[in-house]
């Protein structure tokens, strides 16, 4: 896949539109291109997506473009091959501008957020292996990064900010009554997370609670969405984040110590939930976003029924693990619905095959 260079973009033309393109490099961070006339799409609401090149970010950008939003996306490294997919999305040439920004650098965020009605703050690290330095690897980008984004949003008088949190900020609460379904009133217990050194969960809990507090104190409309494990097809040429998990179940790389019970949701349904949380005037507070609850051995049986020939893990034990029960009723009351797990699985597997990640 090819990322256009600045030079490349200067010479690019869109033959289907008899429009002249102008590079609008009005500031040094902007790396996209803009149409120099008022198309219908250009007149639509402008929104910013941080972490546009990630698993969730790219699907959100895709959804927003399909609805004719004018989108500013932030990426840290425009040359990273995973960001190439963004340029290929339908309507990207008209309605997507990418900005080089790091959430740790407050000043890099302003140009991306300027002029936007809404911001979706998606960027935050997902741990890929053991965390060596939780402060720099997790807390700074998740917590300080979120506060930087919110400050920039308040400064730019953004109308609403949707922050992507996680069920990691909901479910780790040993004081919650056993067996009771967890809803948005349940928060992961920070003390418990600290003592168990569950750093990702702690960083998401800190970031989400501070985001909601920041909104209240500063008169900024902040809504949070807490997805469970996100699965589904990828838009990039290589999987990032949790897209690896389903793949690892098929290619024999699944490690037995990984989760044995999954609460999961399709990445495209997460994108819909984020848009709903942005668009619905009545949206407020936090929203759990989960669709399916399944033990891993049942998931593997489901996969085997459809795709019998892959290299599935042999010894899956439920151990003494408990099934976590979470409710997305609040989100469903906003109008959110989700696709079947079978659809997610089949679309993901077919997508991996097409991307050359599976035979
Ligand atoms: N995947 C899941 O199962 C899941 C579940 C619940 C919640 N979430 C949340 O969803 C969000 C997106 O996750 P994902 O699954 O899409 O993971 P991903 O594909 O790894 O994307 C993470 C994104 O965060 C960006 N990022 C990380 N540190 C940054 C920094 N300092 N400055 C700017 N951008 C930074 C990355 O940018 P680069 O491209 O520059 O690296 C990347 O775009 C995260 O907030 C995560 O906590 C994910």
pLDDT per residue as tens digits for the range 89-98: 999 999 999 9
First to last CA, the chain: 20
Quickly list DSSP for 284-345: -EEEEE--EEEEHHHHHHHHHHH-TTSB--S----TT-----B--HHHHHTT-----HHHHH
Q: How far apart are CA 96 and CA 90, in angstroms?
A: 10
**Å from CA of 167 to ligand 1 middle:** 15
The pLDDT assigned to 44 comes to 63
The pTM assigned to this predicted structure is 0.89
Residues 6 or more apart whose CB falls under 8 angstroms from that of 205 comprise 168, 169, 172, 187, 188, 190, 193
E strands, the chain, in order: 21-22, 34-35, 46-50, 70-75, 96-100, 118-121, 160-164, 222-227, 229-231, 261-266, 285-289, 292-295
Residue 9 has pLDDT above 90, yes or no: no
**Å from CA of 123 to ligand 1 middle:** 4
Residue 287 burial (CB < 10 Å; 0-12/13-18/19+)?
buried
Average pLDDT over residues 161-178: 97
Residue nearest to atom 47 of ligand 1 (CA): 124
Helical packing angle, 243-251 and 341-354, nearest 10°: 80
Asked whether 104 lines ligand 1 (CB < 6 A), one says yes
Asked whether 234 lines ligand 1 (CB < 6 A), one says no
At residue 263, the 3 state secondary structure works out as: strand
At residue 256, the 3 state secondary structure works out as: coil
Residues 6 or more apart whose CB falls under 8 angstroms from that of 227 comprise 56, 164, 166, 167, 265, 270, 273, 289, 290
Asked whether 241 lines ligand 1 (CB < 6 A), one says yes
255-308 confidence digits (pLDDT tens): 876 778 999 999 999 999 999 999 999 999 999 999 999 999 999 999 999 999
The pLDDT assigned to 239 comes to 82
325 is catalytic: no
Average pLDDT over residues 196-225: 97
The pLDDT assigned to 318 comes to 79
**Å from CA of 159 to ligand 1 middle:** 23
Confidence of residue 81 (pLDDT cuts 50, 70, 90): confident
Average pLDDT over residues 311-330: 86
Choosing from 204, 255, 279, 280, the catalytic residue is 204
Residue nearest to atom 17 of ligand 1 (CA): 241
Q: Does domain 6-228+266-289+322-331 have CATH number 3.40.50.720?
A: yes
Residue 166 has pLDDT above 80, yes or no: yes
Best residue among 229, 241, 245, 326 to mutate for probing ligand 1, ranked by most atoms within 8 Å of CB: 241
Best residue among 31, 52, 55 to mutate for probing ligand 1, ranked by most atoms within 8 Å of CB: 55
Confidence of residue 162 (pLDDT cuts 50, 70, 90): very high
């Amino acid at each position: 896949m090819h990322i256009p260079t600045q030079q490349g973009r200067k010479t690019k033309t869109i033959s289907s539109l008899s429009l002249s393109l102008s590079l609008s490099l009005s500031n040094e961070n902007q790396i996209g291109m803009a149409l120099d006339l008022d198309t219908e799409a250009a007149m639509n609401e402008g929104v910013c997506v941080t972490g546009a090149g990630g698993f969730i970010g790219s699907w959100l950008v895709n959804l927003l473009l399909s609805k004719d939003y004018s989108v500013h996306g932030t990426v840290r490294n425009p040359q990273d091959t995973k960001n190439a997919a963004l340029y290929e999305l339908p309507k990207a040439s008209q309605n997507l501008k990418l900005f080089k920004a790091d959430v740790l650098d407050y000043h890099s965020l302003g140009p991306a957020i300027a002029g936007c009605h809404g911001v979706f703050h998606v960027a935050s690290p997902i741990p890929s292996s053991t965390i060596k330095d939780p402060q720099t690897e997790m807390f700074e980008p998740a917590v300080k990064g979120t506060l930087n984004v919110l400050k920039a949003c308040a400064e730019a008088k953004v109308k609403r900010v949707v922050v992507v949190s996680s069920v990691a900020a909901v479910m780790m609460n040993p004081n919650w009554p056993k067996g009771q379904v967890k809803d948005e009133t349940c928060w992961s217990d920070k003390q418990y997370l600290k003592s168990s050194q569950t750093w990702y969960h702690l960083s998401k809990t800190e970031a989400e609670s501070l985001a909601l507090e920041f909104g209240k104190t500063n008169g900024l409309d902040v809504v949070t969405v807490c997805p469970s494990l996100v699965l589904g097809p990828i838009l990039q040429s290589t999987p990032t984040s949790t897209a690896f998990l389903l793949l690892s179940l098929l290619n024999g790389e699944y490690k037995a110590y990984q989760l044995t019970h999954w609460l999961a949701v399709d990445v495209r349904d997460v994108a819909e939930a984020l848009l709903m949380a942005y668009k619905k005037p009545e949206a407020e507070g936090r929203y759990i976003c989960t669709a399916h609850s399944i033990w891993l051995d049942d998931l593997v049986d489901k996969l085997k029924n459809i795709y019998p020939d892959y290299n599935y893990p042999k010894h899956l034990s439920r151990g003494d693990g408990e099934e976590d029960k979470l409710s997305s009723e609040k989100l469903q009351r906003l109008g959110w619905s989700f696709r079947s797990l079978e659809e997610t699985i089949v679309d993901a597997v077919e997508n991996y095959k097409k991307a050359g990640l599976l035979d």
